[in-house]
């Protein structure tokens, strides 16, 4: 069957959300209150972790502004324009209301486009980009341009079964992404527990626990008595750490006009936020410019720690050809690997208790910042044996690799989803008829149910 092209306004109805006064708000459910969904709840999927309830809502508004089945609820006003148009699909009726900064959309009763297919069209990459580009700005807010949307043409397959097949296929990819994200959270929880117990000596590499008598009290809680417990500065003096340095300050600092498409990575705090050096998306400077700088040269094996604005990001430099250049936001730590392995220092920096103390020290400044002098005053503990350090980090590294593998899987699935949306929602690629036929019976059942309800 052919594809159709119709104006949005011909196919889709829309309604605005509920407006209320501050006096109606309460964070907890009370008798006769109604929960309201706000922009915060509209993420990549419906996020119900943030709660807000309203008092004194009329019965009429409870019906008119309800979060109902088959509606797509989109962000229609926000300070971040890229959020305009972000939407969630409502699969079941609820007693929730939706807020005035949101707009709800649904196919008209007489239209032949299905609600779940329309949602996929609305959230496709191309449509979201166009919505962002034309969003209107007032008083610092971006607003959904309803007039633009109403005059936009929607392409869709005439066969409802094909619409269902496309929506179902995309839902399966979403489910795979969600399942992988859930497994990442579980792995991250395990990693956190391993770091907190292995890197304090409470848990031995063989999996057995040390007794309370074998532990001492430290700034980070209890740790094994026989381990070295000192300040970072002591490790520098004793040669465990051979270099601590950040990037060039003041006039020596490269400026934006000097950035190039290809060259030496110029690494900021945000470039190590994912646990690795993002050499693809970071700024770059020419090697000639980098060679003239005085400090900030990081090499393979160096441990990086962000110490300004975004404090606490850390990673190991895995590749450097021949080096990467640091901004003043990032400190490098270079170690003598016969005394201290990079992975041990990396995971110690990632420990929850270390991060809390690091953040606490950074907030003593007017802006989040902890300079090298104060970093050196931070405490650390470790076994003297490199072999023991290696055994301690092995289980953590194993979980880390699993997390990275799962993150890579999510990226692959997201690329697949984007490709499917670009091709299936435009008719560039058609699904096999054998696959579509599986959904014809389901569509017929839905239509029969609708007809029965009408009668």
CA dist., res. 213 & res. 402, Å (int) = 35
Asked whether the predicted pLDDT for residue 453 surpasses 60, the reply is no
Q: Report CA torsion sign: 425, 430, 113, 453.
A: negative
CA dist., res. 348 & res. 350, Å (int) = 5
CATH: 3.40.1080.10, 3.30.365.10, 3.90.220.20, 3.40.50.2000. Which one for 3-158? 3.90.220.20
CA-atom Rg of the chain in angstroms: 28
**CB contact set of 5 (below 8 Å; sequence gap of 6+):** 153, 154, 155
- Rounded percentage of the chain residues whose pLDDT exceeds 90: 82
Q: Would strands 34-37 and 102-107 be described as parallel, antiparallel, or unpaired?
A: unpaired
Residue whose entry in the numeric block shows the structure tokens 């992988």: 180
CATH: 3.30.1550.10, 3.40.640.10, 1.10.1380.10, 1.10.287.1120. Which one for 162-209+385-455? 1.10.287.1120
Q: Is the peptide bond before 322 cis (omega within 30 degrees of 0)?
A: yes
CA dist., res. 439 & res. 337, Å (int) = 61
Asked whether the predicted pLDDT for residue 253 surpasses 90, the reply is no
Task: Identify the H or E element spanning 335.
Answer: strand 330-335
| pTM higher than 0.85 | no
pLDDT of residue 452: 58
DSSP label at residue 157 = E
Nearest to 59 by CA among 28, 32, 26: 32
Give the pLDDT confidence of 323-370 residue by residue, as tens digits. Answer: 999 999 999 999 999 999 999 999 999 999 999 999 999 987 778 899
Nearest to 8 by CA among 151, 160, 113: 151
User: Quick one: average pLDDT of 398-403?
Assistant: 96
Average pLDDT, the chain: 92
Number of neighbouring beta carbons within 10 Å of residue 218: 16
pLDDT of residue 252: 77
Same fold, 3-158 and 228-382: yes
CATH class of 228-382: alpha beta
**CB contact set of 97 (below 8 Å; sequence gap of 6+):** 17, 18, 34, 35, 36, 37, 54, 57, 61, 62, 65, 66, 67
- 188, with CB counted inside 10 A (0-12, 13-18, 19+), is middle
Are 243 and 332 spatial neighbours (Cβ–Cβ below 8 Å)? yes
Are 159 and 432 spatial neighbours (Cβ–Cβ below 8 Å)? no
User: What is the residue-wise DSSP string for 96-153?
Assistant: -EEBTTEEEEEE-TT--S-HHHHHHHHTSHHHHHHHHHH-EEETTEEE--HHHHHTSE
DSSP label at residue 337 = T
For residue 153, the cross-strand partners are 7
- Domain boundaries, given as residue ranges, for the chain: 3-158, 162-209+385-455, 228-382
Give the pLDDT confidence of 46-79 residue by residue, as tens digits. Answer: 999 999 999 999 999 999 999 999 999 999 999 8
CA dist., res. 305 & res. 345, Å (int) = 11
Asked whether the predicted pLDDT for residue 428 surpasses 70, the reply is yes
Number of neighbouring beta carbons within 10 Å of residue 163: 25
């Amino acid at each position: 069957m052919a594809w159709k092209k119709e104006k949005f306004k011909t196919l889709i109805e829309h309604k605005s959300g509920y407006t209320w006064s501050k006096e109606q708000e309460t964070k907890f459910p009370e008798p006769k209150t109604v929960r309201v969904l706000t922009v915060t709840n509209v993420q990549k999927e419906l996020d119900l972790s943030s709660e807000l309830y309203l008092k004194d809502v009329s019965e009429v508004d409870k019906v008119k502004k309800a979060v109902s089945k088959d509606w797509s609820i989109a962000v229609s006003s926000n300070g971040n324009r890229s959020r305009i148009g972000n939407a969630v699909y409502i699969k079941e009726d609820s007693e929730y209301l939706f807020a005035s900064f949101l707009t709800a959309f649904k196919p008209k009763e007489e239209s032949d486009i299905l609600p779940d297919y329309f949602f996929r069209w609305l959230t496709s990459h191309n449509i979201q980009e166009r919505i962002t580009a034309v969003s209107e700005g007032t008083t610092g807010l971006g607003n959904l341009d309803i007039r633009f949307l109403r005059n936009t043409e929607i392409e869709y397959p005439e066969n409802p079964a094909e619409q269902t097949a496309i929506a179902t296929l995309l839902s399966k990819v979403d489910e795979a992404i969600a399942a992988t994200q859930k497994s990442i959270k579980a792995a991250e929880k395990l990693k956190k527990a391993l770091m907190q117990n292995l890197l304090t000596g409470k848990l031995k590499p063989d999996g057995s626990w040390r007794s309370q008598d074998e532990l001492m009290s430290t700034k980070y809680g209890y740790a094994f008595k026989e381990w070295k417990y000192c300040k970072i500065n002591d490790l520098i003096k004793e040669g465990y750490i051979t270099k601590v340095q950040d990037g060039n300050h003041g006039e020596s600092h490269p400026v934006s006009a000097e950035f190039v498409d290809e060259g030496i990575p110029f690494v900021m705090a945000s470039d190590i936020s994912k646990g690795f050096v993002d050499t693809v998306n970071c700024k770059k400077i020419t090697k000639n410019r980098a060679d003239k700088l005085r400090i900030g040269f990081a090499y393979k094996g160096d441990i990086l720690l962000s110490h300004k604005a975004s404090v606490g990001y850390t990673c190991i430099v895995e590749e450097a050809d021949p080096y990467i250049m640091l901004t003043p936001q990032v400190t490098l730590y270079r170690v003598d690997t016969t005394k201290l392995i990079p992975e041990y220092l990396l995971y110690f920096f990632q420990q929850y208790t270390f991060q809390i103390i690091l953040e606490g020290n950074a907030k003593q400044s007017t802006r989040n910042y902890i300079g090298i002098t104060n970093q050196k005053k931070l405490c650390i503990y470790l076994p003297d044996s490199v072999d023991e350090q290696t055994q301690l980090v092995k289980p953590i590294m194993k979980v880390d690799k699993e997390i990275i593998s799962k993150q890579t899987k999510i990226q692959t699935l997201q690329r697949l989803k984007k490709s499917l949306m670009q091709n299936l929602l435009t008719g560039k690629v058609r699904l096999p008829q054998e696959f579509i036929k599986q959904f014809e019976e389901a569509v017929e059942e839905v239509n029969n149910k609708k007809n029965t309800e009408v009668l």
